[in-house]
Amino acid sequence: MLVEKFIPGGFSLATRDDGKKAFFWNALPGEIVTDFEIVKNKSSYFEAIATKIENPSPYRIEPKDECFLSTSPWQILDYSYELEQKSLLVQEIFREHDITIDAPEIITDGKDYEYRNKMEYALYYDHLDEKIHLAFHARGSHRKVPIFKSSLERPEIFKRALEIIDDLNTRHEEARKYQSLLLRCNQAGEVSGGLFENGKPHPVFDNLEDEILGHEYSYSPNGFFQINLPVYETVLKEIKQHINTDEVLDLYSGVGTIGLSVARDCKLTLVEVDKSAYKELVNNSRNQNNIITILEKSENTLNYINNTETIILDPPRAGIDRKLAERLLEVAPPKIAYLSCNPATQARDIKILLEKYHIDKVKTFNFFPHTPHIENLVVLSL
């Protein structure tokens, strides 16, 4: 089967002779897949891992990790080609929603390995050497694959993970006792986190601290915090350029890193629904009388939207609620900065907002090199 193109989600697309669509991992546009392993089979399509390729792409490179299909299936792409493809995917996604944009500029700090500040590992017991090993799940299955090298996370994380595994083996612990091992590292190289035991509440780990655009933030290793801080800072600098109002409303604010980094001196309202994230949000915004924090769903705080403020949106993958979009159209704030980890739902929402807004800027950020994940920023003005 001839591979046609990449599609949202990171698969490459091919069509079987009978018309059934094939969504491949480990295959690049222009290559011919002659053998594959199906991992999901539906009536109109199947997902598979290509195991034999003819006519290999000139953009194919050797993956750095044996476990690449589990963690970063785009390790087989030349990095410049990866950036080009992500930009084209954003353009195509918006076109599918009848929005015409140029292929956006894609921003990277050039560090495509050892960038993740958080990693969660499975544990695998090898009956041959009678030892526990770090593991990931094979793509498309629940089968665990032991790993001995991983290049995405900061080296401090992998080093600490190996130390914990060595300790388990020294104490002759059983792998089945544990759900996973989660570790997080700040920019200073300090690591926090630990083991999750099956059937027990998740432990409370020591908080970490990091500086973002000159401001200190505290966060839990197992809570929500950005994975790639250097690239995240470039996003914040871009958003800050578009803050030209005295009032800012930051919806889906998490622990507050966007609003507090770009609009700390404004009359700032931050809304977050997760209780754990909200607790850290309150701590991060303490001692500032110009800041209001609200524990609530963003779509339940529509009365806080006014026509003199800049709106910041950073929703989960599902995008924003329809009634929030309608409220934005009704009140018509002058500026909206919409950051998304899912350009498909972002484009859907923006199509609604284009009734009154126009697109000032689209920029794509490579938070997750060697994976198909895309972070996209769209700035809208009335």
For the segment 210-266, what is each residue's pLDDT rounded down to a tens digit?
999 999 999 999 888 999 999 999 999 999 999 999 999 999 999 999 999 999 999
Q: Are strands 191-197 and 178-185 parallel, antiparallel or unpaired?
A: antiparallel
Percent of the chain residues topping a pLDDT of 90: 94
184 vs 166: CA distance, rounded Å? 19
Give me 190's structure tokens: 């300090």
Is pLDDT at 56 greater than 90 in this prediction?
yes
334 vs 315: CA distance, rounded Å? 20
Entry field: residues in the chain: 382
Give me 297's structure tokens: 């769903």
Q: Domains along the chain?
A: 3-60 (2.40.50.140), 83-112+228-381 (3.40.50.150), 118-209 (no CATH)
Residue 79 contacts by C-beta under 8 Å, 6 or more apart in sequence? 112, 369, 370
- Global pTM value: 0.94
What are the helix (H) ranges across 229-356?
Answer: 229-241, 257-262, 275-284, 322-331, 343-353
Q: Are strands 131-137 and 118-126 parallel, antiparallel or unpaired?
A: antiparallel
277 vs 291: CA distance, rounded Å? 16
In single-letter form, the type of residue at position 222 comes to N
Is pLDDT at 173 greater than 90 in this prediction?
yes
Give me 69's structure tokens: 């299909």
The answer to whether residues 237 and 213 touch, using CB atoms and an 8 Å cutoff, is yes
The band of 142, judged by pLDDT with boundaries at 50, 70 and 90, is confident
- The candidate with the shortest Cα–Cα distance to 185, out of 205, 214, 215, is 205
In single-letter form, the type of residue at position 121 comes to Y
Q: What is the pLDDT of residues 288-342, one digit of tens each?
A: 889 999 999 999 999 999 999 999 999 999 999 999 999 999 999 999 999 999 9
215 vs 56: CA distance, rounded Å? 47
52 vs 38: CA distance, rounded Å? 13
Q: Is the dihedral of CA 299, 92, 25, 364 positive or negative?
A: negative
- pLDDT value for 223: 84
In single-letter form, the type of residue at position 25 comes to W
**DSSP SS3 for 129:** coil
Placement of tokens 């000032």 in the chain: 360
Question: Average pLDDT of the chain?
Answer: 95
Placement of tokens 């290999």 in the chain: 56
In order of 242, 337, 343, 350, 351, the CA distances from 100 in angstroms are 22, 18, 14, 12, 11
The band of 356, judged by pLDDT with boundaries at 50, 70 and 90, is very high
The band of 50, judged by pLDDT with boundaries at 50, 70 and 90, is very high
48 vs 98: CA distance, rounded Å? 30
Mean pLDDT of the 356-377 span: 96
Q: Which long-range contacts (CB under 8 A, 24 or more apart) does 192-201 make?
A: 192/221, 193/221, 193/222, 194/164, 195/164
